[in-house]
Structure 1
Amino acid sequence: MSATLAKRTTPRQGRARIRVQAILEAATRLLVEAGYDALTTTRVAEEAGISVTSLYHYFANKRAIVAELTGHFVRHRKSDLDLLIERADRGEPWQGIVDTLIDDLTQAYRAAPVTAIILHALKADPELRKLDDRINAQVARQLTRLLEAMGIAKRRASTLARIATIMLDAYVIEVVRVPQSALGTLSREFKSILTAYIALDMPEAPRR
Protein backbone atom coordinates (compact mmCIF):
# COMPACT_ATOMS: atom_id res chain seq x y z
CA MET A 1 0.00 0.00 0.00
CA SER A 2 1.31 3.49 -0.81
CA ALA A 3 2.43 5.78 1.98
CA THR A 4 -0.56 8.07 1.44
CA LEU A 5 -3.00 5.19 2.03
CA ALA A 6 -1.27 3.40 4.88
CA LYS A 7 -2.20 4.11 8.48
CA ARG A 8 0.56 6.27 9.96
CA THR A 9 0.46 4.82 13.46
CA THR A 10 -1.04 1.54 14.62
CA PRO A 11 -2.87 2.22 17.88
CA ARG A 12 -1.70 -0.03 20.71
CA GLN A 13 -3.14 1.59 23.83
CA GLY A 14 -6.84 1.53 24.60
CA ARG A 15 -7.26 5.29 24.30
CA ALA A 16 -5.59 5.35 20.89
CA ARG A 17 -7.76 2.49 19.62
CA ILE A 18 -10.87 4.31 20.81
CA ARG A 19 -9.73 7.45 18.99
CA VAL A 20 -9.13 5.60 15.72
CA GLN A 21 -12.51 3.90 16.04
CA ALA A 22 -14.12 7.30 16.55
CA ILE A 23 -12.43 8.57 13.39
CA LEU A 24 -13.67 5.61 11.36
CA GLU A 25 -17.21 5.87 12.71
CA ALA A 26 -17.27 9.62 12.01
CA ALA A 27 -16.01 9.09 8.47
CA THR A 28 -18.65 6.41 7.90
CA ARG A 29 -21.45 8.76 8.99
CA LEU A 30 -20.16 11.58 6.81
CA LEU A 31 -19.70 9.33 3.78
CA VAL A 32 -23.31 8.15 4.04
CA GLU A 33 -24.62 11.69 4.61
CA ALA A 34 -22.59 13.63 2.04
CA GLY A 35 -20.53 11.26 -0.12
CA TYR A 36 -16.82 10.84 -0.79
CA ASP A 37 -16.25 14.10 -2.66
CA ALA A 38 -17.53 16.13 0.30
CA LEU A 39 -15.43 14.24 2.83
CA THR A 40 -12.53 16.16 4.38
CA THR A 41 -10.20 15.42 7.25
CA THR A 42 -11.39 18.61 8.95
CA ARG A 43 -15.01 17.46 8.88
CA VAL A 44 -14.05 14.00 10.09
CA ALA A 45 -12.06 15.44 12.99
CA GLU A 46 -14.94 17.71 13.98
CA GLU A 47 -17.43 14.84 13.80
CA ALA A 48 -15.11 12.62 15.86
CA GLY A 49 -14.58 15.34 18.46
CA ILE A 50 -10.80 15.54 18.05
CA SER A 51 -8.32 17.96 16.53
CA VAL A 52 -7.14 17.64 12.94
CA THR A 53 -3.62 17.27 14.31
CA SER A 54 -4.71 14.21 16.26
CA LEU A 55 -6.36 12.74 13.17
CA TYR A 56 -3.18 13.25 11.13
CA HIS A 57 -1.31 11.26 13.73
CA TYR A 58 -3.14 8.20 12.40
CA PHE A 59 -4.22 9.05 8.84
CA ALA A 60 -2.46 11.13 6.20
CA ASN A 61 -5.63 12.12 4.36
CA LYS A 62 -9.20 11.07 3.60
CA ARG A 63 -7.98 8.39 1.19
CA ALA A 64 -6.16 6.68 4.04
CA ILE A 65 -9.34 6.70 6.12
CA VAL A 66 -11.36 5.17 3.28
CA ALA A 67 -8.60 2.62 2.71
CA GLU A 68 -8.82 1.60 6.36
CA LEU A 69 -12.61 1.24 6.14
CA THR A 70 -12.15 -0.82 2.98
CA GLY A 71 -9.61 -3.04 4.72
CA HIS A 72 -12.04 -3.88 7.52
CA PHE A 73 -14.66 -4.93 5.00
CA VAL A 74 -12.23 -6.90 2.84
CA ARG A 75 -10.90 -8.87 5.81
CA HIS A 76 -14.39 -10.11 6.59
CA ARG A 77 -14.95 -11.12 2.96
CA LYS A 78 -11.60 -12.95 2.94
CA SER A 79 -12.69 -14.94 6.00
CA ASP A 80 -15.95 -15.84 4.25
CA LEU A 81 -14.05 -17.12 1.22
CA ASP A 82 -11.68 -19.13 3.39
CA LEU A 83 -14.70 -20.90 4.90
CA LEU A 84 -16.04 -21.69 1.42
CA ILE A 85 -12.67 -23.13 0.42
CA GLU A 86 -12.82 -25.40 3.48
CA ARG A 87 -16.29 -26.56 2.43
CA ALA A 88 -15.05 -27.32 -1.07
CA ASP A 89 -12.08 -29.24 0.35
CA ARG A 90 -14.56 -31.40 2.25
CA GLY A 91 -16.26 -32.27 -1.01
CA GLU A 92 -19.51 -30.37 -0.54
CA PRO A 93 -21.56 -29.79 -3.74
CA TRP A 94 -20.05 -26.89 -5.60
CA GLN A 95 -23.39 -25.38 -6.67
CA GLY A 96 -24.31 -24.80 -3.02
CA ILE A 97 -20.96 -23.15 -2.40
CA VAL A 98 -21.53 -20.75 -5.30
CA ASP A 99 -24.98 -19.92 -3.91
CA THR A 100 -23.48 -19.19 -0.50
CA LEU A 101 -20.79 -17.00 -2.07
CA ILE A 102 -23.41 -14.83 -3.76
CA ASP A 103 -25.68 -14.78 -0.70
CA ASP A 104 -22.81 -13.71 1.58
CA LEU A 105 -21.78 -10.87 -0.75
CA THR A 106 -25.36 -9.72 -1.23
CA GLN A 107 -26.08 -9.58 2.49
CA ALA A 108 -22.76 -7.95 3.37
CA TYR A 109 -23.05 -5.14 0.82
CA ARG A 110 -26.72 -4.47 1.50
CA ALA A 111 -26.20 -4.41 5.26
CA ALA A 112 -23.74 -1.49 5.17
CA PRO A 113 -24.94 1.58 3.20
CA VAL A 114 -21.43 3.05 3.28
CA THR A 115 -20.18 0.33 0.91
CA ALA A 116 -21.93 2.02 -2.02
CA ILE A 117 -19.95 5.22 -1.42
CA ILE A 118 -16.71 3.31 -0.85
CA LEU A 119 -17.19 1.36 -4.09
CA HIS A 120 -17.65 4.63 -5.96
CA ALA A 121 -14.51 6.07 -4.36
CA LEU A 122 -12.45 2.99 -5.22
CA LYS A 123 -13.41 3.34 -8.88
CA ALA A 124 -13.28 7.14 -9.17
CA ASP A 125 -10.18 8.13 -7.19
CA PRO A 126 -6.94 7.26 -9.08
CA GLU A 127 -5.02 6.52 -5.87
CA LEU A 128 -7.79 4.37 -4.40
CA ARG A 129 -8.20 2.60 -7.75
CA LYS A 130 -4.78 1.08 -7.19
CA LEU A 131 -6.07 -0.33 -3.91
CA ASP A 132 -9.15 -1.65 -5.72
CA ASP A 133 -6.88 -3.43 -8.22
CA ARG A 134 -4.92 -5.06 -5.39
CA ILE A 135 -8.11 -6.17 -3.68
CA ASN A 136 -9.41 -7.73 -6.90
CA ALA A 137 -6.10 -9.53 -7.39
CA GLN A 138 -6.41 -10.95 -3.87
CA VAL A 139 -9.98 -12.06 -4.54
CA ALA A 140 -8.88 -13.72 -7.78
CA ARG A 141 -6.22 -15.69 -5.92
CA GLN A 142 -8.76 -16.90 -3.37
CA LEU A 143 -11.26 -17.79 -6.08
CA THR A 144 -8.53 -19.77 -7.84
CA ARG A 145 -8.05 -21.83 -4.67
CA LEU A 146 -11.80 -22.26 -4.38
CA LEU A 147 -12.19 -23.46 -7.97
CA GLU A 148 -9.27 -25.85 -7.59
CA ALA A 149 -10.88 -27.26 -4.45
CA MET A 150 -14.04 -27.79 -6.53
CA GLY A 151 -12.05 -29.91 -8.95
CA ILE A 152 -11.02 -27.54 -11.74
CA ALA A 153 -7.43 -27.75 -13.03
CA LYS A 154 -5.11 -25.06 -11.69
CA ARG A 155 -4.33 -23.25 -14.95
CA ARG A 156 -7.97 -23.12 -15.98
CA ALA A 157 -9.04 -22.20 -12.44
CA SER A 158 -6.80 -19.13 -12.58
CA THR A 159 -8.44 -17.94 -15.79
CA LEU A 160 -11.95 -18.59 -14.50
CA ALA A 161 -11.13 -16.80 -11.25
CA ARG A 162 -10.04 -13.63 -13.06
CA ILE A 163 -13.25 -13.55 -15.08
CA ALA A 164 -15.37 -14.39 -12.03
CA THR A 165 -13.72 -11.54 -10.10
CA ILE A 166 -14.73 -9.08 -12.82
CA MET A 167 -18.28 -10.45 -12.74
CA LEU A 168 -18.47 -10.24 -8.94
CA ASP A 169 -17.09 -6.70 -8.97
CA ALA A 170 -19.88 -5.63 -11.32
CA TYR A 171 -22.47 -7.58 -9.33
CA VAL A 172 -21.78 -5.92 -5.97
CA ILE A 173 -22.06 -2.48 -7.56
CA GLU A 174 -25.56 -3.41 -8.69
CA VAL A 175 -26.36 -4.94 -5.30
CA VAL A 176 -25.95 -1.57 -3.58
CA ARG A 177 -27.89 0.26 -6.30
CA VAL A 178 -31.06 -1.73 -6.91
CA PRO A 179 -34.20 -1.39 -4.78
CA GLN A 180 -34.97 -4.17 -2.34
CA SER A 181 -37.82 -5.36 -4.56
CA ALA A 182 -35.38 -6.15 -7.38
CA LEU A 183 -32.66 -7.73 -5.27
CA GLY A 184 -34.04 -11.28 -5.32
CA THR A 185 -34.24 -11.36 -9.11
CA LEU A 186 -30.76 -9.91 -9.46
CA SER A 187 -29.32 -12.51 -7.08
CA ARG A 188 -31.08 -15.46 -8.76
CA GLU A 189 -30.05 -14.40 -12.25
CA PHE A 190 -26.45 -13.85 -11.25
CA LYS A 191 -26.28 -17.23 -9.52
CA SER A 192 -27.55 -18.85 -12.73
CA ILE A 193 -24.98 -17.04 -14.85
CA LEU A 194 -22.01 -17.78 -12.59
CA THR A 195 -23.05 -21.41 -12.04
CA ALA A 196 -23.45 -22.01 -15.79
CA TYR A 197 -20.06 -20.44 -16.47
CA ILE A 198 -18.25 -22.57 -13.88
CA ALA A 199 -20.12 -25.72 -14.95
CA LEU A 200 -18.45 -25.57 -18.37
CA ASP A 201 -15.15 -26.55 -16.75
CA MET A 202 -16.30 -28.83 -13.96
CA PRO A 203 -15.10 -32.43 -14.31
CA GLU A 204 -17.89 -34.87 -15.09
CA ALA A 205 -19.14 -36.91 -12.19
CA PRO A 206 -17.99 -40.54 -12.36
CA ARG A 207 -20.57 -42.87 -13.88
CA ARG A 208 -21.97 -45.71 -11.77
Structure 2
Amino acid sequence: MRVVPKQSRSQAKIDLILSTTAALLVEHGADAITMSDIAANCELPIGTLYHYFPNKNQVLKTLAEQSINAIDEELGQAIEQASRSNIDWMTLVDMVFDAYRQAPGLMPLFQAIKAIPELRDIVDNSNARVAEILANHVDPRRRLPPERRLLVCRLISELVQSCLEYALIQCVDSVKVKEISNELKVMLSALQNHYFR
Protein backbone atom coordinates (compact mmCIF):
# COMPACT_ATOMS: atom_id res chain seq x y z
CA MET A 1 0.00 0.00 0.00
CA ARG A 2 1.35 3.44 -0.87
CA VAL A 3 -0.44 5.35 1.88
CA VAL A 4 -1.19 4.21 5.40
CA PRO A 5 -4.66 5.55 6.19
CA LYS A 6 -4.77 8.10 9.01
CA GLN A 7 -8.40 9.12 8.74
CA SER A 8 -11.52 6.99 8.82
CA ARG A 9 -12.44 8.29 5.35
CA SER A 10 -9.20 6.93 3.92
CA GLN A 11 -9.68 3.61 5.70
CA ALA A 12 -13.23 3.42 4.34
CA LYS A 13 -11.88 3.85 0.79
CA ILE A 14 -9.29 1.14 1.32
CA ASP A 15 -11.95 -1.18 2.75
CA LEU A 16 -14.14 -0.44 -0.29
CA ILE A 17 -11.26 -1.16 -2.66
CA LEU A 18 -10.45 -4.46 -0.94
CA SER A 19 -14.05 -5.68 -0.65
CA THR A 20 -14.72 -4.74 -4.28
CA THR A 21 -11.56 -6.54 -5.38
CA ALA A 22 -12.64 -9.64 -3.43
CA ALA A 23 -16.00 -9.62 -5.22
CA LEU A 24 -14.31 -9.18 -8.61
CA LEU A 25 -11.94 -12.05 -7.83
CA VAL A 26 -14.83 -14.37 -7.08
CA GLU A 27 -16.61 -13.34 -10.26
CA HIS A 28 -13.70 -13.12 -12.73
CA GLY A 29 -10.45 -14.46 -11.20
CA ALA A 30 -7.19 -12.61 -10.59
CA ASP A 31 -5.94 -12.60 -14.19
CA ALA A 32 -9.10 -11.04 -15.61
CA ILE A 33 -9.36 -7.95 -13.41
CA THR A 34 -7.50 -4.68 -13.89
CA MET A 35 -6.95 -1.54 -11.87
CA SER A 36 -9.52 0.15 -14.13
CA ASP A 37 -12.07 -2.58 -13.29
CA ILE A 38 -11.45 -2.10 -9.58
CA ALA A 39 -11.76 1.70 -9.79
CA ALA A 40 -14.92 1.52 -11.93
CA ASN A 41 -16.61 -0.97 -9.60
CA CYS A 42 -15.66 1.15 -6.58
CA GLU A 43 -16.95 4.24 -8.40
CA LEU A 44 -13.64 5.95 -7.65
CA PRO A 45 -11.38 7.89 -10.01
CA ILE A 46 -8.47 5.72 -11.14
CA GLY A 47 -6.10 8.29 -9.60
CA THR A 48 -7.62 7.66 -6.17
CA LEU A 49 -6.97 3.94 -6.54
CA TYR A 50 -3.36 4.61 -7.56
CA HIS A 51 -3.02 6.98 -4.59
CA TYR A 52 -3.45 3.98 -2.29
CA PHE A 53 -2.05 1.12 -4.39
CA PRO A 54 0.71 1.30 -7.04
CA ASN A 55 -0.59 -1.73 -8.97
CA LYS A 56 -3.02 -4.64 -8.97
CA ASN A 57 -0.56 -7.03 -7.33
CA GLN A 58 -0.33 -4.69 -4.34
CA VAL A 59 -4.13 -4.66 -4.02
CA LEU A 60 -4.15 -8.47 -4.17
CA LYS A 61 -1.30 -8.70 -1.69
CA THR A 62 -3.04 -6.42 0.80
CA LEU A 63 -6.28 -8.38 0.46
CA ALA A 64 -4.45 -11.68 0.96
CA GLU A 65 -2.54 -10.37 3.99
CA GLN A 66 -5.71 -9.09 5.60
CA SER A 67 -7.60 -12.35 5.04
CA ILE A 68 -4.79 -14.70 6.01
CA ASN A 69 -3.81 -12.68 9.09
CA ALA A 70 -7.42 -12.81 10.32
CA ILE A 71 -7.52 -16.59 9.80
CA ASP A 72 -4.15 -17.01 11.55
CA GLU A 73 -5.37 -14.99 14.51
CA GLU A 74 -8.53 -17.08 14.79
CA LEU A 75 -6.49 -20.28 14.46
CA GLY A 76 -3.98 -19.11 17.07
CA GLN A 77 -6.77 -18.46 19.56
CA ALA A 78 -8.28 -21.89 18.86
CA ILE A 79 -4.90 -23.61 19.33
CA GLU A 80 -4.28 -21.71 22.54
CA GLN A 81 -7.71 -22.67 23.83
CA ALA A 82 -7.33 -26.30 22.76
CA SER A 83 -3.87 -26.70 24.28
CA ARG A 84 -5.35 -26.30 27.73
CA SER A 85 -6.80 -29.77 27.29
CA ASN A 86 -5.75 -31.53 24.10
CA ILE A 87 -5.57 -30.24 20.55
CA ASP A 88 -8.62 -31.41 18.63
CA TRP A 89 -7.37 -31.70 15.06
CA MET A 90 -10.87 -32.49 13.82
CA THR A 91 -12.20 -29.12 14.93
CA LEU A 92 -9.08 -27.19 13.86
CA VAL A 93 -9.02 -28.65 10.34
CA ASP A 94 -12.74 -27.94 9.87
CA MET A 95 -12.22 -24.39 11.15
CA VAL A 96 -9.31 -23.73 8.76
CA PHE A 97 -11.07 -25.21 5.73
CA ASP A 98 -14.24 -23.23 6.49
CA ALA A 99 -12.32 -19.99 7.11
CA TYR A 100 -10.45 -20.21 3.81
CA ARG A 101 -13.59 -21.17 1.91
CA GLN A 102 -15.57 -18.26 3.40
CA ALA A 103 -12.94 -15.49 3.14
CA PRO A 104 -14.13 -13.36 0.19
CA GLY A 105 -11.83 -13.66 -2.81
CA LEU A 106 -9.22 -15.79 -1.05
CA MET A 107 -9.58 -18.92 -3.18
CA PRO A 108 -9.00 -17.06 -6.48
CA LEU A 109 -5.94 -15.48 -4.83
CA PHE A 110 -4.57 -18.94 -4.08
CA GLN A 111 -4.99 -19.82 -7.72
CA ALA A 112 -2.81 -16.80 -8.57
CA ILE A 113 -0.02 -17.71 -6.14
CA LYS A 114 2.30 -19.17 -8.78
CA ALA A 115 2.03 -16.04 -10.93
CA ILE A 116 2.42 -13.53 -8.09
CA PRO A 117 5.46 -14.29 -5.88
CA GLU A 118 4.40 -11.77 -3.21
CA LEU A 119 1.38 -13.94 -2.49
CA ARG A 120 3.59 -16.99 -1.94
CA ASP A 121 5.57 -14.96 0.62
CA ILE A 122 2.35 -14.22 2.52
CA VAL A 123 1.51 -17.94 2.66
CA ASP A 124 5.08 -18.79 3.76
CA ASN A 125 4.93 -16.17 6.52
CA SER A 126 1.56 -17.52 7.62
CA ASN A 127 2.94 -21.06 7.80
CA ALA A 128 5.86 -19.82 9.92
CA ARG A 129 3.49 -17.98 12.31
CA VAL A 130 1.21 -20.98 12.69
CA ALA A 131 4.22 -23.25 13.27
CA GLU A 132 5.41 -21.00 16.11
CA ILE A 133 1.96 -20.99 17.68
CA LEU A 134 1.77 -24.78 17.42
CA ALA A 135 5.29 -25.21 18.81
CA ASN A 136 4.32 -23.20 21.88
CA HIS A 137 1.18 -25.23 22.56
CA VAL A 138 1.25 -28.67 20.97
CA ASP A 139 3.89 -30.32 23.18
CA PRO A 140 2.99 -29.51 26.81
CA ARG A 141 5.47 -32.07 28.18
CA ARG A 142 8.25 -30.62 26.03
CA ARG A 143 9.29 -34.05 24.75
CA LEU A 144 11.09 -32.58 21.75
CA PRO A 145 13.95 -30.09 21.85
CA PRO A 146 12.74 -26.59 20.81
CA GLU A 147 14.40 -26.61 17.36
CA ARG A 148 12.99 -30.01 16.45
CA ARG A 149 9.56 -29.13 17.84
CA LEU A 150 9.49 -25.98 15.67
CA LEU A 151 10.60 -27.98 12.61
CA VAL A 152 7.89 -30.61 13.15
CA CYS A 153 5.28 -27.87 13.63
CA ARG A 154 6.45 -26.12 10.45
CA LEU A 155 6.06 -29.38 8.55
CA ILE A 156 2.57 -29.78 10.00
CA SER A 157 1.70 -26.23 8.93
CA GLU A 158 3.03 -26.88 5.40
CA LEU A 159 1.09 -30.17 5.22
CA VAL A 160 -2.15 -28.44 6.18
CA GLN A 161 -1.51 -25.67 3.62
CA SER A 162 -0.79 -28.17 0.84
CA CYS A 163 -3.91 -30.20 1.59
CA LEU A 164 -5.95 -27.02 1.83
CA GLU A 165 -4.74 -25.74 -1.54
CA TYR A 166 -5.23 -29.13 -3.18
CA ALA A 167 -8.72 -29.59 -1.76
CA LEU A 168 -10.07 -26.10 -2.27
CA ILE A 169 -8.44 -25.21 -5.58
CA GLN A 170 -8.14 -28.44 -7.53
CA CYS A 171 -11.17 -30.36 -6.30
CA VAL A 172 -14.62 -29.22 -7.30
CA ASP A 173 -16.34 -32.24 -5.79
CA SER A 174 -17.40 -31.46 -2.20
CA VAL A 175 -17.29 -35.18 -1.33
CA LYS A 176 -13.62 -35.30 -2.39
CA VAL A 177 -12.87 -32.15 -0.36
CA LYS A 178 -14.41 -33.82 2.70
CA GLU A 179 -12.34 -36.98 2.08
CA ILE A 180 -9.15 -34.92 1.91
CA SER A 181 -10.12 -33.07 5.08
CA ASN A 182 -10.80 -36.37 6.87
CA GLU A 183 -7.49 -37.91 5.77
CA LEU A 184 -5.67 -34.78 6.92
CA LYS A 185 -7.28 -35.14 10.35
CA VAL A 186 -6.09 -38.75 10.59
CA MET A 187 -2.55 -37.73 9.57
CA LEU A 188 -2.42 -34.89 12.10
CA SER A 189 -3.69 -37.13 14.90
CA ALA A 190 -1.04 -39.72 14.01
CA LEU A 191 1.67 -37.05 13.99
CA GLN A 192 0.50 -35.76 17.35
CA ASN A 193 0.57 -39.28 18.82
CA HIS A 194 4.02 -39.93 17.40
CA TYR A 195 5.72 -36.68 18.38
CA PHE A 196 3.87 -35.18 21.29
CA ARG A 197 2.47 -37.96 23.49
Same fold (TM over 0.5): yes
2:196 partner SS: coil
Counterpart of 1:101 in structure 2 is 92
159-168 or 10-19: bigger deviation: 10-19
Distance 1:85 1:105, change over 3 A: closer
Paired with 2:86 and 2:123, the residues of 1 have a C-alpha distance of 31
| TM-score (ref. length: structure 2) | 0.87
Paired with 1:41 and 1:150, the residues of 2 have a C-alpha distance of 52
Cα shift readout 1:168-198 (whole Å, capped 9, x = no counterpart): 1111113323322333322211100111122
Q: Are residues 1:49 and 2:40 paired?
A: no
| TM-score (ref. length: structure 1) | 0.83
Corresponding pairs, count:
194
Distance 1:152 1:63, change over 3 A: farther
Q: Are residues 1:173 and 2:165 paired?
A: yes
Q: Tell me if structure 2 keeps the 8 A contact 1:89–1:150.
A: no
Paired with 2:12 and 2:186, the residues of 1 have a C-alpha distance of 44
Counterpart of 2:156 in structure 1 is 164
Cα shift readout 1:130-175 (whole Å, capped 9, x = no counterpart): 3332232222222222323474422331121121122111111133
Q: Are residues 1:74 and 2:68 paired?
A: yes
Counterpart of 2:115 in structure 1 is 124
Q: Which amino acid aligns with 1:57?
A: H
Q: Are residues 1:146 and 2:137 paired?
A: yes
Structure 2: 5+ residue runs without aligned partners? Answer: none
Q: CA RMSD in A?
A: 2.0
Q: Are residues 1:63 and 2:57 paired?
A: yes
Distance 1:66 1:8, change over 3 A: same
Structure 1: 5+ residue runs without aligned partners? Answer: 1-6, 204-208
Distance 1:112 1:50, change over 3 A: same
Q: Which amino acid aligns with 1:168?
A: V
Cα shift readout 1:54-102 (whole Å, capped 9, x = no counterpart): 0111111111111111122122222223223422442x123x2x22220
Q: Tell me if structure 1 keeps the 8 A contact 2:69–2:126.
A: no
Q: Tell me if structure 2 keeps the 8 A contact 1:164–1:194.
A: yes
Q: Tell me if structure 2 keeps the 8 A contact 1:84–1:146.
A: no
Counterpart of 1:22 in structure 2 is 16
Paired with 2:188 and 2:124, the residues of 1 have a C-alpha distance of 21
1:19 partner SS: helix
Paired with 1:77 and 1:152, the residues of 2 have a C-alpha distance of 28
**Residue number among 83, 86, 89 corresponding to 2:80 in the alignment:** 86
